[in-house]
C-alpha cells in the first residue's frame, strides 16, 4: 500500500461505495440508526442541511402561489381501500394502529388495549385523507384551484432501510392541488417538476434529468408521474423528486365534485408532488469525496469556520479577539440574500483535529488564524473543494471582499463536476449486447439512452437480471425515432435506463 494517499474516509468510493456512504454519514455526524427498526435519528448537522432545504423549497412553493396546511397523521383503513391501485401500492408497507391504550399484561409488563373499531394507518402519503377534506371544501368552480402543501412525516415499512435513502419513517413535503380543468392540473404538475429541477440544480448543485415515468413506474393511482433523476458518483440513478398528475382518479374515489361555470357537476382534477429527506442522501452521494462530506455553499449550515491557533494564554486572548471580530465582520455580509454563517471553533481540542472534523463535515471554507496571520493581516484559507493541504494565505481585506464570490465559484465547480461525471457516464446504446455489457458490473454502468417500444415482458427479461430499470422518458430529449432493442418494435425516442437507489 506504499504511496497510496491516506484518506479520512475508509473505505474509499472506489473500494466500496455503499460502505463509503455509511462512513461519510457517520464521520459528518449526520444521522444514526435508532432502536426502532428502520427509523433514523437525524442529528443536528444533518437536520441543519434539511432545514436549509426546507427553507428554500418553502419559499419557492409560496412564490408559485401555494400555502401550507396540516392534515392528520392517521388514515382510516377504509380510506385507503377507495382507490384500488393506491391501496395495492401501499398495503404491504403500512404501520397499522389497532389499539388506543396500554394495560398491565397478565404475565407482567404491558399489553395493547382499547381496540379500535377501524384500524388506522400511519400515513404513507396523504392523497386519501386530504382528498376527503377537499371533497368538503369544493362545491363550485370558484373554490378552485386549491394549492396546498404540507410538511410532514410519513411511514412506509421498509425491509432494507438505508439512512436518508430508504427509511421506514421519513420527512417530506407533499403538495396536493385540485383544479377545474385537466390542462390546469397538468400545467401545475409540470410547474412543480420545474421547481424541483431548479432547486436541485441551483441550490443542491445536483444536475437532474426531468422526465416522465414509464407506466409501470408510476405512483399508485396516478395517470402520469414525472420525475427528476440524478446520477450519483457510482453512476446509479437517484429518483430525487416526483410530481403526479392524478387525473380524476382520486377525485372520483373521494367525491371531489364541483359545479362548473356551465352549471354541470364535474370531478376535480388533482395533482400531488413531493420531495423528502432522501434529498440529503442525494446531496451526500453527489458531492462528497474520500475525505468526507462536501456541502454546496447554498446549503451549508456554516459557510466559514474559523479555527484559532495559539500556544499560550497571551496569544489566546489576542487570537480569540481577532477571530471574533473577523466572524462579526463576515456575519454581516450576505450570500444570496442570507447572512454568511460563521462559526468560531474554540473547543478545547488540537487544531489539526478540528480542521479534520470540519473537512469531514463539509464546511466550505476554513480559516486558521494564529499570531503570524494577525501580524500579516491575513487569513490562512482552506477550501473544501480543494485538497486538505492546499491551503494559502490571503489578505484579510481581500478575503472579506471575495468571500461571497469564492462560495459561488465553489457552488459552480461542484455542479460542473457533477455535470462532467454525468456526461462521461451517459451513453447511447442501441443493441442488446451493448446494453448487457454496459450494465455488466459495478465498475461500469451509468445512464443508457436506449430506444424503447413500450412495456413488454421481453424488456423485463433483460432488465431484471441486470437490476436495471427505466428511469424516465426525458422531457427535453429530441424526438428521434428508432427501434427498441428489447422487442424490435418502433420507438419514438430514447429513454433513460440505469441501476438505481
Question: Taking CB under 8 A as the rule, does residue 400 contact a copy of itself?
Answer: no
* DSSP, residue by residue, 413-439: HHHHHHHHHHHHTEEE--SHHHHHHHT
Write the binding mask 327 to 366 for a copy of itself: x where contact by CB under 8 A, - elsewhere. ---------------------x------------------
Q: Are strands 338-339 and 334-335 parallel, antiparallel or unpaired?
A: antiparallel
CB of 114 to a copy of itself, least distance (A): 8
CB of 32 to a copy of itself, least distance (A): 7
Question: Taking CB under 8 A as the rule, does residue 92 contact a copy of itself?
Answer: yes
Closer by beta carbon to a copy of itself, 1 or else 63: 63
Torsion on CA atoms 294, 295, 300, 305, rounded to nearest 10: 20
Question: Taking CB under 8 A as the rule, does residue 34 contact a copy of itself?
Answer: yes
Distance of CA 432 to the CA centre of its chain: 32
DSSP conformational letter for 93 = G
Question: Taking CB under 8 A as the rule, does residue 100 contact a copy of itself?
Answer: yes
**Considering only 108-116, 335-343, 368-376, 431-439, which stretch makes contact with a copy of itself by CB under 8 A?**
108-116
**Considering only 31-39, 196-204, 373-381, 449-457, which stretch makes contact with a copy of itself by CB under 8 A?**
31-39
Question: What nine digits make up the cell of 22?
Answer: 455509511
How far is it, in rounded angstroms, from Cα 257 to Cα 411? 47
CA distances from 373 to 348, 378, 491 (A): 21, 5, 64
Write the binding mask 131 to 150 for a copy of itself: x where contact by CB under 8 A, - elsewhere. -xx--x-----x-----x--
Judged by CB under 8 A, the number of residues near a copy of itself is 65
Closer by beta carbon to a copy of itself, 27 or else 459: 27
- Tell which one of 10, 14, 18, 36 touches a copy of itself (CB under 8 A): 36
How far is it, in rounded angstroms, from Cα 410 to Cα 416? 10
Alpha helices in 301-456 (DSSP H): 313-331, 351-361, 371-375, 396-424, 432-438
Question: Taking CB under 8 A as the rule, does residue 71 contact a copy of itself?
Answer: yes
- Tell which one of 85, 153, 248, 458 touches a copy of itself (CB under 8 A): 153
Burial 256-266 (b: 16+ CB within 10 A, else e): bebeeeeeeeb
- Tell which one of 61, 79, 219, 486 touches a copy of itself (CB under 8 A): 79
- Tell which one of 27, 57, 75, 468 touches a copy of itself (CB under 8 A): 75
- Tell which one of 26, 43, 336, 493 touches a copy of itself (CB under 8 A): 43
- Tell which one of 12, 85, 91, 248 touches a copy of itself (CB under 8 A): 91
Q: Find the binding residues for a copy of itself in span 155-194 (CB under 8 A).
A: 155, 157, 169, 171
CB of 337 to a copy of itself, least distance (A): 12
How far is it, in rounded angstroms, from Cα 285 to Cα 18? 10
Closer by beta carbon to a copy of itself, 94 or else 223: 94
- Tell which one of 10, 59, 65, 81 touches a copy of itself (CB under 8 A): 81
DSSP conformational letter for 303 = S
Q: Are strands 342-344 and 304-308 parallel, antiparallel or unpaired?
A: parallel
**Considering only 103-111, 236-244, 326-334, 379-387, which stretch makes contact with a copy of itself by CB under 8 A?**
103-111
Largest CA-CA distance found in the chain, in angstroms, rounded: 84
Taking alpha carbons only, the member of 466, 456, 462, 464 closest to residue 490 is 456
Burial 11-39 (b: 16+ CB within 10 A, else e): ebbeeebeebbebbbebbebbeeeeeebb
**Cα angle 21, 22, 28; round to 5:** 90
Question: Taking CB under 8 A as the rule, does residue 300 contact a copy of itself?
Answer: no
Question: Taking CB under 8 A as the rule, does residue 72 contact a copy of itself?
Answer: yes
Q: Give the interface with a copy of itself as residue ranges (CB under 8 A).
A: 32, 34-36, 39-44, 46-48, 51, 67-81, 87, 91-103, 109-112, 114, 119-122, 129, 132-133, 136, 142, 148, 152-153, 155, 157, 169, 171, 348
Amino acid at each position: 500500500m506504499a504511496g497510496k494517499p491516506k484518506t479520512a474516509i475508509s473505505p474509499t468510493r472506489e473500494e466500496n461505495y455503499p460502505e463509503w456512504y455509511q462512513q461519510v454519514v457517520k464521520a459528518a455526524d449526520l444521522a444514526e440508526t435508532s432502536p426502532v427498526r428502520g427509523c433514523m435519528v437525524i442529528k443536528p448537522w444533518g437536520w441543519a442541511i434539511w432545514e436549509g432545504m426546507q427553507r428554500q423549497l418553502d419559499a419557492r412553493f409560496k412564490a408559485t402561489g401555494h400555502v401550507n396546511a396540516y392534515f392528520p397523521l392517521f388514515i382510516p383503513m377504509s380510506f385507503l381501500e377507495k382507490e384500488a391501485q393506491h391501496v395495492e401500492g401501499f398495503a404491504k408497507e403500512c404501520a397499522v394502529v389497532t389499539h388506543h391504550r396500554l394495560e398491565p399484561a397478565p404475565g407482567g409488563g404491558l399489553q395493547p388495549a382499547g381496540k379500535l373499531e377501524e384500524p388506522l394507518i400511519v400515513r404513507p402519503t396523504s392523497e386519501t385523507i386530504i382528498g376527503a377534506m377537499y371533497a368538503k371544501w369544493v362545491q363550485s368552480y370558484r373554490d378552485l384551484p386549491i394549492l396546498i402543501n404540507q410538511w410532514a412525516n410519513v411511514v412506509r415499512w421498509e425491509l432494507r432501510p438505508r439512512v436518508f435513502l430508504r427509511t421506514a419513517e421519513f420527512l417530506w413535503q407533499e403538495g396536493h392541488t385540485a383544479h377545474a380543468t385537466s390542462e390546469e392540473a397538468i400545467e401545475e404538475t409540470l410547474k412543480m417538476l420545474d421547481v424541483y429541477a431548479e432547486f436541485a440544480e441551483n441550490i443542491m448543485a445536483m444536475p437532474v434529468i426531468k422526465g416522465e415515468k414509464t407506466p409501470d413506474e408510476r405512483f399508485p393511482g396516478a395517470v402520469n408521474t414525472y420525475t427528476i433523476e440524478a446520477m450519483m458518483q457510482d453512476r446509479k440513478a437517484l429518483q430525487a423528486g416526483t410530481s403526479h398528475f392524478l387525473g380524476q382518479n382520486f377525485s372520483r374515489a373521494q367525491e371531489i365534485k364541483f359545479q362548473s361555470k356551465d352549471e354541470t357537476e364535474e370531478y376535480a382534477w388533482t395533482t400531488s408532488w413531493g420531495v423528502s429527506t432522501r434529498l440529503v442522501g442525494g446531496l451526500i452521494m453527489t458531492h462528497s469525496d474520500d475525505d468526507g462530506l462536501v456541502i454546496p455553499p447554498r446549503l451549508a449550515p456554516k459557510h466559514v469556520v474559523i479555527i484559532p491557533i495559539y500556544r499560550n494564554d497571551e496569544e489566546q486572548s489576542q487570537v480569540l479577539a481577532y477571530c471574533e471580530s473577523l466572524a462579526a465582520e463576515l456575519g454581516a455580509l450576505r450570500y444570496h440574500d442570507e447572512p454568511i454563517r460563521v462559526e468560531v471553533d474554540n473547543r478545547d481540542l488540537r487544531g489539526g483535529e478540528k480542521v479534520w472534523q470540519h473537512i469531514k463535515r463539509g464546511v466550505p471554507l476554513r480559516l486558521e488564524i494564529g499570531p503570524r496571520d494577525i501580524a500579516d493581516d491575513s487569513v490562512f484559507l482552506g477550501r473544501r473543494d480543494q485538497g486538505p493541504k492546499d491551503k494559502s494565505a490571503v489578505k484579510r481585506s481581500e478575503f472579506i471582499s471575495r468571500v461571497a464570490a469564492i462560495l459561488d465559484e465553489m457552488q459552480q465547480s461542484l455542479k460542473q463536476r457533477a455535470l462532467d461525471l454525468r456526461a462521461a457516464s451517459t451513453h447511447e446504446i442501441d443493441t442488446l449486447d451493448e446494453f448487457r455489457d454496459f450494465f455488466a458490473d459495478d465498475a461500469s454502468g451509468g445512464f443508457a439512452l436506449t430506444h424503447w417500444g413500450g412495456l413488454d415482458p421481453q424488456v423485463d427479461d433483460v432488465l431484471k437480471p441486470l437490476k436495471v430499470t427505466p428511469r424516465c422518458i426525458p422531457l427535453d430529449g429530441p424526438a428521434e425515432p428508432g427501434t427498441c432493442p428489447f422487442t424490435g418494435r418502433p420507438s419514438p425516442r430514447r429513454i433513460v435506463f440505469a441501476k438505481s437507489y
